[in-house]
Structure 1
């Protein structure tokens, strides 16, 4: 249900941090199922995040401030805090940070697929300053004595396909062959790869720009002897996201990625139950999730939303 003009105006007023009445309107709209309420709630969450950053910055500034300065008075700090709160809501309303868009994609049903790989990434922020990230990582590794053989110093995410149509057209023939070994619908493999990479828009790339071709977010554990790509990752720990760093497998082609996925599933005892349920994609992905393939508690549900979605319904039989 779309928001009426009057309700929309009231919800937009909730961006003013001290308008508690409009905040209550937002809560009521969300409970009634208004589609626009999610957008406003996501923007408010982003505003809270920005406000926390500003508050931390102010604390650092206050630690170095002249205590006798008139600008260090409690009155000034009070109005400065009000300004920062309103600044945070304005930045969020203008889409300056982008966190709200990610929340909307994650929480909205339908075709707005948020890459599962983003839960294992730094939100693509490293690409904006990847050379500095690589330099810091190399310095840290030298201090810690880390062996960097076959490991890219800093990986990043970028698009490898222009559209979902191009993604499916390029990968489906490989999926047909690979899926035979699992007795799995190749459409299911495409759906999982689409979720993991956002239809190929968020693929891990090495520092030199070469694609890792990693379609399924498979990490490089001690058994992996091939090339690797290091990226920051957000994993769910007790249903809460936690930032970590992980190495992911890097392949020479997308076909290699699909074949390794099949080998990875078939050779790992923890996925034995999933292998026994490949005839039904829903049961298969549920078993994968229960076995710990992904830490996202809604992983299976998200893959099936892509599997049953309009995009694959139109592109594949």
Structure 2
């Protein structure tokens, strides 16, 4: 008898649920490298699943059965369970629930429309997947900001600073005052403004071309009595970026903008946890995000990345 016929014979013996050597026969068939082994293993798994369902159903039936009935004896249950085991094997061998076919497609990687089993749960790849998602979100955000900056008939976003260095240098004196009142780091406030405006390259300007000096994305709510500018912005709904129009506060100077930022944070009860965590930069922004300051699910990570950058940390006032 050749190797293929031997493997087939071992698989046939493995199909008997009451054969003690069945699993060993299946193991030996796997070692032969026969292509039928994966299908057989999948059917065995399906048989176990079906058997578990039958066993659960029998337990429910036993709970309602008459204890004095001759059909409810331990001997009858013993042979009934053996019958259920073999029934499960026969069902899986003849198509069953279709679970075996799904397992073969996933593990065998024979169908290009099915994802390989190796990628279903690959913890080592999670960081890569998250990075790809972050890059796609960033691209979407940049696209919205760039398109918004091209508008000229209404408020729009445009550069207010020549480069990142000039942005940090101009903002630091005002950020230092704001940080002292909030009990946090001046460079942390600069990092937040950098994220909100793309290092000052996407600052809101009114229709006449005047800067709003709004570096923190503070919207004009009903309590705001000052000037405001309506512009396209990016909001996140369930992690998906969406383009919307919103009214933002307008200030006469950077100093006024930073002062209102401090007042906005300190006057809102929902941000009190953030103020209390001001000495811990990461916790400060985490509390702001959880309180609803930003809809971007990666807001804290983005701000902290800028905060740790050489441009911010390397600045010497």
TM-score, structure 1 normalization: 0.56
Q: Is this contact kept in 2: 1:235–1:244, CA < 8 A? A: yes
Mapped to 2, the partners of 1:213 and 1:200 lie a distance apart of: 10
Measure the CA separation in 1 of the matches of 2:279 and 2:303: 16
Q: C-alpha distance in 2, partners of 1:105/1:311?
A: 24
- 1:181/1:156 Cα in 2 relative to 1: closer, same or farther (>3 Å)? same
The CA distance in 2 between the partners of 1:129 and 1:204, in whole Å, is 11
SS in 1 for 2:279: coil
CA offset at residue 316 of structure 1? 4.0
Structure 1 contact 187–307 (Cα < 8 Å) conserved: yes
Structure 1 distance, partners of 2:136, 2:238, is: 22
Residue pair 2:149, 2:202 contacting (<8 A) in 1 also: no
Distance 1:164-1:104 versus aligned 2 partners, 3 A rule = farther
* Superposed counterparts of 1:295-306, under 5 Å: 295-306=295-306
Structure 2 spans left out of the alignment, 5+ residues: 1-111, 120-124
Assess if the C-alpha contact under 8 Å between 1:187 and 1:316 holds in 2: no
Q: Equivalences for 1:225-304 in 2 at 5 Å?
A: 225-304=225-304
1:182 match = 182
Measure the CA separation in 2 of the matches of 1:269 and 1:276. Answer: 12
Aligned length: 200
Question: 1:46 aligns to what?
Answer: none
| Deviation readout 1:221-278 (Å, 9 max, x if unpaired) | 1011100010122211111222321100110001111110000000001101111100
Partner of 2:138: 106
CA RMSD across the alignment: 3.3
C-alpha distance in structure 1 between counterparts of 2:308 and 2:181, whole Å: 23
Are the counterparts in 2 of residues 124 and 156 from structure 1 also a CA contact under 8 Å? no
1:161 maps to 2:134? no
Residue-by-residue CA offset, 1:71-120 (whole Å, 9 max, x unaligned): xxxxxxxxxxxxxxxxxxxxxxxxxxxxxxx947938xxxxxx9xxx58x
Q: Is the 8 A contact 2:168 2:190 kept in 1?
A: yes
Query: What is the distance in 2 between the residues matched to 1:190 and 1:105?
Result: 22
Note the alpha carbon deviations across 1:173-207, whole angstroms, 9 max, x for none.
11111211111111111110111111111101111
Asked whether the 8 Å contact 1:236–1:295 carries over to 2, the reply is yes
Residue 125, structure 1, aligned to residue 157, structure 2: no
Deviation for aligned residue 1:312: 1.0
SS of the residue corresponding to residue 233 of structure 2 reads strand
CA contact (8 A) 1:182 1:278 kept: yes
Aligned equivalents of 2:210 and 2:252: distance in 1?
10
Greater RCO (CA < 8 Å, at least 6 residues apart): 1
CA contact (8 A) 2:187 2:313 kept: no
Distance 1:207 1:277, change over 3 A: same
Q: Is the 8 A contact 1:184 1:281 kept in 2?
A: yes
* Paired residue secondary structure (1:128): coil
Give me the whole-angstrom Cα distance separating, in 1, the residues matched to 2:151 and 2:155: 11
Give unpaired runs (5+ residues) of structure 1. Answer: 1-19, 43-101, 108-113, 132-153
Structure 2 contact 150–156 (Cα < 8 Å) conserved: no
User: Considering only CA atoms, is the larger Rg found in Structure 1 or Structure 2?
Assistant: 2
Contact 1:274 1:284 in 2 (8 A): yes
